[in-house]
């Protein structure tokens, strides 16, 4: 199925189904996807590389952010959130900490009420600078799609060996000060069944939630084209049933169908 790449460093603002009026920041190349995962459901398609010398510099990101902020201010536009997403994993950027510091400075100057959010796949949490930066922002939205290693391998296809226990241990560093995000999907891939909504999967996922105690959970399903055409959306009623099991643990859950 058709997928797409973001062709600008700063894109939007767009209305996000989870975050509101969002100005996107892409710290990856505009012509290729750079990520530590190769998720079978990614709207940006397959990963071309985990590393690239063509990442925009900290200075260029700041320059482009100022340009867009000034333009938005001159037009009287509103902004709910500045969201780091784009063509892959934003925390792979070698100047990530500096970029976050610049963003906080500019947010405070131009849109003091706006939140700063980072959508991350949780693979760079072994780096103290990444954890430090994520703790500075309003919404550090960190991925855990399953509590089972085999499911992570199937859904996320990490480029380096990654276990659920490793991800959970790294998430424990936040002491609950983060938002957990999980993509739920069904279907098949290369002859294997894909379904992280089974009772077995949800029970394991809930054990991780009890251990991590995130301040919020975001659960969602595919909304755009994916690189694999045999995947299916999970009905909103099923997502709500999963959400209610997490809410029973006392954690707010946002559902996007």
Structural domain spans, the chain? 10-180
Rounded to whole angstroms, the Cα distance separating 48 from 33 reads 6
E strand map for 72-229: 81-84, 115-120, 139-143, 179-183, 186-189, 192-195, 216-220
Residue 156 confidence (pLDDT): 96
Residue 238 confidence (pLDDT): 98
Backbone torsions φ then ψ of 119, nearest 5 degrees: -95, 115
User: Which residues 6+ apart lie within 8 Å of 190 measured at CB?
Assistant: none
Over residues 126-147, the pLDDT tens digits come to 999 999 999 999 999 999 999 9
Q: What is the DSSP letter of 127?
A: S
Backbone torsions φ then ψ of 36, nearest 5 degrees: -90, -5
Strand order in the sheet with 186-189: 192-195, 186-189, 231-232
CA neighbor of 1 nearest in space, from 167, 224, 152: 224
Residue 11 confidence (pLDDT): 92
Mean pLDDT, residues 186-190 taken together: 95
3-state class (DSSP) for residue 99: helix
Residue 20 confidence (pLDDT): 81
Residue 14 confidence (pLDDT): 82
Retrieve residue 214's tokens: 């995130």
Over residues 41-93, the pLDDT tens digits come to 998 878 776 555 589 999 999 999 999 999 999 999 999 999 999 899 999 99
Q: Is the peptide bond before 13 cis (omega within 30 degrees of 0)?
A: yes
User: Which residues 6+ apart lie within 8 Å of 150 measured at CB?
Assistant: none
CATH topology of domain 10-180: TIM Barrel (3.20.20)
Over residues 192-238, the pLDDT tens digits come to 999 999 999 999 999 999 999 999 999 999 988 888 999 999 999 99
Rounded percentage of the chain residues whose pLDDT exceeds 70? 96
Please, which residues bridge with residue 216 across strands? 179
User: Which residues 6+ apart lie within 8 Å of 95 measured at CB?
Assistant: 57, 58
Least confident of 32-36, 46-50, 132-136, 172-176: 46-50
- Check whether 2 has a pLDDT greater than 60: no
What is the chain's Cα-based Rg?
A: 18
3-state class (DSSP) for residue 79: coil
- Check whether 16 has a pLDDT greater than 90: no
Contact 124, 36 (CB under 8 A): yes
């Amino acid at each position: 199925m058709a997928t797409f790449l973001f062709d600008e460093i700063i894109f939007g603002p767009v209305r996000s189904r989870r975050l509101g009026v969002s100005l996107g920041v892409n710290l990856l190349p505009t012509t290729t996807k750079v990520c530590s995962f190769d998720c079978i459901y990614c709207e940006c398609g397959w990963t071309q590389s985990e590393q690239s010398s063509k990442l925009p510099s900290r200075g260029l990101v700041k320059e482009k952010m100022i340009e867009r902020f000034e333009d938005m201010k001159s037009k009287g536009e509103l902004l709910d959130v500045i969201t780091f997403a784009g063509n892959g994993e934003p925390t792979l950027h070698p100047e990530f900490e500096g970029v976050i510091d610049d963003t906080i400075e500019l947010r405070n100057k131009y849109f003091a009420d706006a939140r700063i959010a980072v959508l991350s796949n949780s693979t760079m949490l072994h780096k103290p600078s990444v954890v430090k930066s994520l703790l500075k922002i309003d919404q550090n939205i960190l991925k855990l799609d399953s509590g089972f290693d085999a499911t992570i391998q199937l859904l996320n296809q990490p480029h380096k060996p990654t276990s659920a226990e490793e991800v959970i241990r790294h998430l424990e560093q936040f002491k609950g000060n983060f938002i957990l995000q999980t993509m739920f999907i069904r279907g098949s891939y290369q002859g294997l069944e894909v379904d992280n909504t089974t009772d077995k999967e949800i029970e394991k996922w809930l054990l991780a939630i009890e251990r991590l105690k995130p301040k919020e959970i975001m659960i969602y399903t595919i909304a755009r084209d994916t690189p694999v055409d045999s995947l299916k959306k999970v009905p909103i009623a099923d997502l709500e049933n999963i959400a209610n099991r997490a809410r029973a643990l006392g954690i707010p859950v946002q559902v996007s169908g």
